[in-house]
Amino acid sequence: MATRRENEAQEPSLVDENVLQRFQDRFSEANCIYLSCLGTEDGLITKSFGDETAKSYFQEQIGQAAYMSLLAKAKSSIVENLVEEELPQKHIKLCAVSTRIEGRTQIIWIVNAVIRDLAEEGCELPDGVVSTTEERFYRSMQFLEYLSKTLFVIKMDEQIAQEALQQSAQSEADIERQLHRSETMTQIVNMLESENGFGKIVDDILKMVCNCLDLSRAALVRENVDGQTLDMICEYAKEREWYRISEYQKVSKEDAPFFNGKSYMISSDSMIPESFARIFKADHITAAIYHPIVVNERAIMYLCFFEQEKERIWSADDVKFINDVKRIIQSILTKRITKNSLASSYASLEAILENVGCGIYVLDQEKKAVLYTNQKFKELFANSISNGKINQILFSDREMGLKNYFEEVFFAEEDRWLDVHKSQIDWVDGRKVSLCTIYDITDKKVYQKKIESQANNDFLTGLFNRMRCEQDLDRFIRLAELNGTEGALLYIDLDDFKHINDGLGHQYGDVLLKAISHSLQKIEGVENTCYRMGGDEFIVIIPDNSDGRLEAVTKSVQSIFSQPWFLKGEDYYCTMSMGIACFPTDANSVQELIRKADMALFSAKKEGKNRIEFYNDKDAVFAHRRLDMEKNMRKATLDECKEFEVYYQPIVDITKPGDPCCGAEALVRWNSSEMGFVSPVDFIPLAEYLGLINPIGDYVLREAAKRCRYWNEMGHPEYKVNVNLSVVQLLQNDIVKKVKAVLDETRVNPQNLTLEVTESLAINDIDRMKTILAQIKSLGVRVALDDFGTGYSSLNHIRELPIDILKIDRCFIEHIADDDFSDAFVKMVSELAATLGLFICTEGVEATEQYEMVKNMHIKYIQGYYFGKPMRIEEFESKYL
């Protein structure tokens, strides 16, 4: 038999024999039981606990057959982690505890124990054999299961982290770095109380920041009284030859392109304008951050940080740390100017901590005193504070025993899950205190529980959804090929369903969809293979048509739609058209089969509706244009989407003087090398149908985010970019991960990225959309509800959705000047938005009269041809950058 080390040479193992041996011996000794550890394939991993007397005793009492029976049960059980072998001796326990990670059994603990409260009178144990109680034994089993799994989860996490952190320190180093930054920030905050001169204080701060962030050089530049020249008044550099303070005097502002009131963050991989490039080359700078020091709404100084030794990509932590330093220096300067007292230092610190975006509390654990809590903390622990239980939480035995930790904790009193990070720092007055930061992760935890139940079913009808349909269909096709049978896919679309919605209202349309769904599920033979694909489209799969079931099912479907539906107190008729494709005869792949059934459905619609059509080759003739477009679109997406170009339509803020541009909406255009310029109206629906909207959408999102970061770094930190998300993109399980990946890759400020979803999509699956949009917003991204007014959302739904902006559809703006309804609708929506704390953006503003009317309605954003059509990036930046 291969040894464990030979197996480990094949693939990484979670099993560490030494750790398991130490764990086993200590756990056995502490709980008065006898453990040994087995691998699923490698046999005994550890040496059994206990001396030879104990081992002989259990071997005599139990026997080899019982051990083999127990091991067989443990290996065959896929549900229970704890199995027990019944023995004639009631006071002897023989159990197996399996440790499973991601469904795979890693080890099996064999447990022997003597239960003294079950032993018969007169039963004597050999010297040295320990015993326990039955209650303690089973508690020990539960604890063993938990600790063993935790041990392996930690080991698995270590293996995953190892690859990403090959040349970095272990997690302790990350904590040290965080502690070092916290301690440095505390020292800088303490400068608020320093009696030293302003120049000496800034020199010390610059040195601390450079040492903490490992920067080459930092400086403070001041505007002179003449308003035309600059002096460097403070500087720190790692190397003496890098100092420039003596020569940087009376420098013209024209030679300092950063001194204009804006913040600049330029990494080594940033696009750099020529004016900055000259400075970087002359001073051997590879990366820089410039922050204005503002007094009385005017930038009088600039705080500058440089990297000269190596390339540097500014991280979010770097930027936040430097920004906090700037605010502290600005507070110190303001304090010196206004001659505030020592109390203003604490006020400045409080102002910083009140705006960090998480709950914070500071404890003096020695004196059991709460030194500080911010407003976010009070919101998170409102119930505990009102019930007088907060001190029990903050000064519990567990809290007092831990000085540094980072973990997820559930607080029952608040019914919340919180991420808690506790560390030791020096407080403003120099004493050692505990600083705790808290983030609310309840939504993430709730989502994890709901995601599985929502993954497979349509929220309205209860039928399986598109994703489940594709999974099942792929399985049925493979079975048909394997068994030499034939199945069928029935693609059903309701005829003129829009008339029901428009005539009776969408609530009755929903009633009809649910009634149809229930009727389809009652058809014999397809009870579990009915699916709602979205809107008024359904699919029924017949896995095996060898018994002629297809004819019976189609007749049953026709019978359902031959009867009236009782809606709103009256009978209404709704017919259907059906396209049928057989598998594997017509196609042997999921997408191809659905596409051909869709072609047959198109033929049924074309022939007058209320009929059934089977797929045949003639359908391909009608789809020639679409197939040609599909072929070229697939080719274009495989070529890194080079044929697609992102256009930008400006969005202006009409609440500010001069109606300044505040960003743009990113819109995709396709200039096909084979077909020429293709209208978005034609290719976007096809891209969504084919699933190609995912790579196209990813390309647009990534390009728009890159461009927005460039705008922000080039003097327009307020510029935002809007990107549309299609229904296909939003229904992808990894949409949140994709958005996060783009944020990480481009390092754009998340608050400057707005993702637009259409109203009809958001309301069609309100619970799922609330979850997805909430996760997206948790990344810092803004969410806009597009085409508002064209769907059928209730005001309550709008209130529930985690959105920031309502975009009123252009159809209301088009007639706002001569249609009382449009005018009233826009006014009503603007008042609604103000109540809900949302912004309004109107689309389609093209005329002066429309602009004037919208401006008088207290609407913030306007988008339309009045200010600019969608344009290439070169034209947009020449006008607005």
pLDDT in tens, 662-672: 999 999 999 99
Predicted confidence (pLDDT) at residue 794 exceeds the cutoff of 80: no
Query: Treating both helix axes as pointing N-terminal to C-terminal, what angle do 735-746 and 766-778 enclose, rounded to 10 degrees?
Result: 20
- Burial of 636 (C-beta count, 10 Å sphere; 0-12/13-18/19+): buried
- Chain position carrying tokens 């428009």: 502
Q: Are 461 and 532 in contact (CB under 8 A)?
A: yes
Tally Cβ neighbours within 10 Å of residue 13: 17
Q: Cα–Cα–Cα angle for 86, 92, 98, nearest 5°? A: 60
Torsion-angle region of 50 (φ positive above 0: left; ψ -120 to 50: alpha; else: beta): left
Mean pLDDT for 726-740 is 84
- Chain position carrying tokens 């009782």: 566
Share of the chain above pLDDT 90, in %: 41
| Maximum Cα interatomic distance, the chain, rounded to a whole number of Å | 105
Q: How far apart are CA 291 and CA 275, in angstroms?
A: 17
pLDDT at 170: 52
Give CA 244 to chain center in angstroms: 45
Per DSSP (E only), the strands in 627-702 are 644-653, 661-672, 676-678
- For residue 2, name the pLDDT band (cuts at 50, 70, 90): very low
Give CA 760 to chain center in angstroms: 23
Share of the chain above pLDDT 70, in %: 90
- For residue 1, name the pLDDT band (cuts at 50, 70, 90): very low
Q: How far apart are CA 390 and CA 436, in angstroms?
A: 14
Q: In terms of DSSP bridges, do strands 359-364 and 432-440 run parallel, antiparallel, or are they unpaired?
A: antiparallel
The tally of CA atoms less than 13 A away on the side-chain side of residue 212 is 26
Of 821, 833, 830, give the one whose Cα is nearest residue 854: 830
Of 726, 696, 732, 727, give the one whose Cα is nearest residue 470: 732
- For residue 447, name the pLDDT band (cuts at 50, 70, 90): confident
Mean pLDDT of the chain: 85
Predicted confidence (pLDDT) at residue 3 exceeds the cutoff of 60: no
Higher model confidence: residue 324 or residue 124?
324
Mapping DSSP to helix (H, G, I), strand (E, B) and coil, where does residue 606 land? helix
- For residue 868, name the pLDDT band (cuts at 50, 70, 90): very high
DSSP for residue 35? E
DSSP for residue 125? -
pLDDT at 396: 79
pLDDT at 512: 93
pLDDT at 429: 62
pLDDT at 222: 92
Per DSSP (E only), the strands in 393-461 are 405-411, 416-426, 432-440
Could you give the dihedral angle defined by the CA atoms of residues 635, 641, 642 and 644, in that order, rounded to the nearest 10 degrees?
100
- Chain position carrying tokens 């017919």: 575
pLDDT at 819: 78
Q: In terms of DSSP bridges, do strands 661-672 and 720-724 run parallel, antiparallel, or are they unpaired?
A: parallel
Higher model confidence: residue 764 or residue 758?
758
Predicted confidence (pLDDT) at residue 624 exceeds the cutoff of 70: no
pLDDT in tens, 366-375: 888 888 888 8
Q: What are phi and psi of 720, to 5 degrees?
A: -125, 160
Q: How far apart are CA 391 and CA 51, in angstroms?
A: 49
Mapping DSSP to helix (H, G, I), strand (E, B) and coil, where does residue 345 land? helix
Mean pLDDT for 204-232 is 92
- For residue 761, name the pLDDT band (cuts at 50, 70, 90): low
Per DSSP (E only), the strands in 485-596 are 487-494, 530-534, 537-542, 565-567, 570-572, 576-583
Cα separation of the two ends of the chain? 71
| Ordered DSSP codes for 535-558 | TTEEEEEES--TTSHHHHHHHHHH
Radius of gyration of the chain (CA): 34
pLDDT at 614: 92
Q: How far apart are CA 222 and CA 225, in angstroms?
A: 10
- Chain position carrying tokens 């072998």: 85
Tally Cβ neighbours within 10 Å of residue 26: 11
- For residue 760, name the pLDDT band (cuts at 50, 70, 90): low
Predicted confidence (pLDDT) at residue 287 exceeds the cutoff of 50: yes
pTM: 0.42
Of 335-344, 398-407, 499-508, 804-813, minimum mean pLDDT range: 335-344
Q: Provide the b/e sequence for 250-266 (b: ≥16 CB within 10 Å).
A: ebebeebbbbeebbbbb
Predicted confidence (pLDDT) at residue 191 exceeds the cutoff of 60: yes
- Chain position carrying tokens 């629906």: 685
Of 377-386, 450-459, 678-687, 723-732, minimum mean pLDDT range: 450-459
pLDDT at 495: 83
pLDDT at 800: 79
Q: How far apart are CA 529 and CA 479, in angstroms?
A: 15
pLDDT in tens, 107-153: 899 999 999 888 888 788 888 899 999 899 989 888 888 888 888 77
Higher model confidence: residue 881 or residue 14?
881
Q: In terms of DSSP bridges, do strands 287-295 and 298-307 run parallel, antiparallel, or are they unpaired?
A: antiparallel
Predicted confidence (pLDDT) at residue 549 exceeds the cutoff of 70: yes
